[in-house]
């Protein structure tokens, strides 16, 4: 039997040398890039440590337990004898207070602005456009200083505080409102509320399934919330003392030489300082402008035929907006909305310009007290990084939930 000649020619199909293999070259290039990056970072760290050692400083974590050395009353407040770690934590809490309120308020106001920009009412649309142009084309720092120096610090002094129903006292030291606090029966009442929330979730699931099966409105959100109310009311009546109490502001009066009685100071209640109010108002008004433009663009991205179809079905303007336009526009709105949320969180560091005791302002004071500049700057960066990544994770989750599922 004749043997067939071999068709594989070794001279033609030679093995590629490793220095010409594209996979080996790519791996080697990445390894060299990573090595150079690490060397640059190590060099920078060494230079920083050498410079700090030359002036007698060395990064350490021991200073966290040392006394802060100063006190402030913003938020939970800090005394001079409290630790540096507690002062930093309170600063972080104050930042989260401003960012949390700012995100919610800016979202609500931004939606209203976006809808008003498309309104048929000429006066409402024109005023909204004027608001957008003013706040979009002026720096946020200037706006914060204007609200602080030109609005809240320009209010009457404490002796001539404006008394509003509540009682609420408004002066250049801030807004003092009645404070609500929890009592010892609050945990027991909260148990009733949690049981009610479980019942509400069951009602929501049943009604949502009814809507899906029959096509009829299930009103699952309304009925789910209504299911919680009886448990909350019964719990309030059964536990005895109310789970909440109110701490009313108590002014201390004194008589001036001219015989006029004025307010010396106000104790009790909850104080909203001019610094906090200026920061929140500035962040909300500035960010709501951009959110409004995003909402307007999202609404206009919905095909006009959808709106005409809704009108043909007899839906009102509000029903069309709620049931047809906004659900579709959200898919366009959510991705850029996350960027605005990140901007609001990072812009909160401008609070240092109006002496609001946020994490950056407190850290600057701690740097002068402890000399741990590198450690505190790294801690501030880590705090903002964690906050931004958390916001991004939530927005990415929401975007994934609203995204159209394609096969």
| 288 has a pLDDT exceeding 90 | yes
Confidence of residue 101 (pLDDT cuts 50, 70, 90): very high
Better-predicted residue by pLDDT, 39 or 53: 39
**Structure-token pair, residue 60:** 């350490």
| 15 has a pLDDT exceeding 80 | no
Confidence of residue 1 (pLDDT cuts 50, 70, 90): low
pLDDT at 8: 59
DSSP 3-state assignment of 83? strand
Residue 191 φ then ψ, to 5°? -65, -45
Hey, how many other C-beta atoms are within 10 angstroms of the C-beta on 10? 8
Adjacent-strand bridge partners of 255: 261
Question: What's the rounded mean pLDDT across residues 393-400?
Answer: 90
Cα–Cα distance for residue pair 292/314, rounded to 1 Å: 28
Nearest alpha carbon to residue 146 among 47, 18, 279: 279
Helices then strands, each counted (H, E), the chain: 12, 8
**Structure-token pair, residue 125:** 């649309």
Lowest mean pLDDT among 115-129, 306-320, 346-360: 306-320
Average pLDDT, the chain: 87
| 405 has a pLDDT exceeding 70 | no
Cα–Cα distance for residue pair 86/79, rounded to 1 Å: 10
Please give the C-alpha separations between residue 327 and each of 301, 302, 322, 333, 395, in angstroms, as whole numbers: 12, 10, 7, 10, 16
Beta carbons of 358 and 352 less than 8 angstroms apart:
yes
Cα–Cα distance for residue pair 30/27, rounded to 1 Å: 5
> What global pTM score does this model have?
0.79
pLDDT at 12: 61
Distance of CA 396 to the CA centre of its chain: 15
Q: What length does the chain have?
A: 407
Quickly tell me which residue has 């509320």 as its tokens.
193
Quickly tell me which residue has 């949320």 as its tokens.
341
Return the exposure string of 212-222: e unless at least 16 CB atoms fall within 10 Å of the residue's CB, then b.
eeeeeebebee
**Structure-token pair, residue 260:** 């006029």
């Amino acid at each position: 039997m004749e043997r067939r000649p071999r068709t594989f020619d070794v001279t033609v199909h030679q093995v590629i040398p490793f220095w010409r293999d594209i996979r080996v070259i790519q791996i080697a290039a990445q390894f060299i890039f990573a090595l150079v990056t690490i060397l640059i970072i190590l060099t920078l760290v060494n230079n920083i440590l050498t410079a700090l050692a030359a002036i007698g400083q060395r990064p350490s974590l021991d200073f966290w337990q040392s006394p802060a050395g100063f006190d402030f009353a913003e938020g939970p407040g800090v005394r001079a004898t409290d630790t540096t770690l507690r002062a930093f934590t309170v600063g972080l809490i104050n930042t989260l207070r401003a960012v949390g309120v700012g995100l919610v308020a800016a979202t609500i106001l931004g939606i209203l602005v976006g809808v008003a920009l498309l309104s048929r009412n000429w006066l409402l649309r024109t005023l909204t456009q004027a608001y957008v142009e003013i706040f979009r084309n002026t720096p946020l720092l200037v706006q914060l200083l204007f609200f602080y120096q030109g609005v809240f610090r320009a209010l009457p002094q404490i002796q001539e505080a404006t008394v509003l129903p509540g009682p609420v006292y408004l002066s250049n030291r801030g807004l003092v409102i009645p404070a609500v606090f929890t009592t010892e029966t609050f945990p027991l009442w909260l148990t009733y509320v949690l049981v009610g929330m479980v019942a509400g979730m069951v009602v929501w699931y049943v009604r949502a399934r009814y809507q899906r099966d029959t096509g009829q409105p299930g009103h699952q959100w309304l009925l789910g919330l209504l299911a919680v109310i009886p448990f909350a009311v019964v719990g309030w009546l059964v536990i005895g003392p109310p789970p909440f109490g109110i701490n009313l502001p108590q002014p201390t009066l004194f008589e001036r030489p001219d015989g006029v009685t004025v307010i010396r100071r106000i104790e009790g209640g909850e104080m909203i300082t001019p610094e906090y109010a200026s920061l929140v108002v500035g962040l909300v008004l500035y960010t709501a402008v951009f959110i409004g433009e995003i909402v307007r663009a999202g609404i206009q991205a919905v095909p006009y035929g959808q709106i005409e179809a809704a009108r043909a079905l007899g839906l009102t303007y509000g029903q069309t907006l709620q049931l047809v336009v906004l659900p579709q526009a959200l898919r366009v709105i959510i991705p850029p909305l996350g960027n605005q949320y990140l901007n609001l969180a990072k812009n909160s560091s401008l609070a240092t310009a109006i002496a609001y005791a946020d994490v950056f302002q407190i850290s600057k004071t701690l740097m002068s007290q402890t000399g741990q500049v590198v450690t505190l700057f790294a801690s501030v960066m880590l705090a903002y990084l964690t906050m931004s990544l958390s916001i991004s994770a939530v927005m990415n989750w929401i975007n994934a939930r609203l995204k159209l599922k394609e096969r």
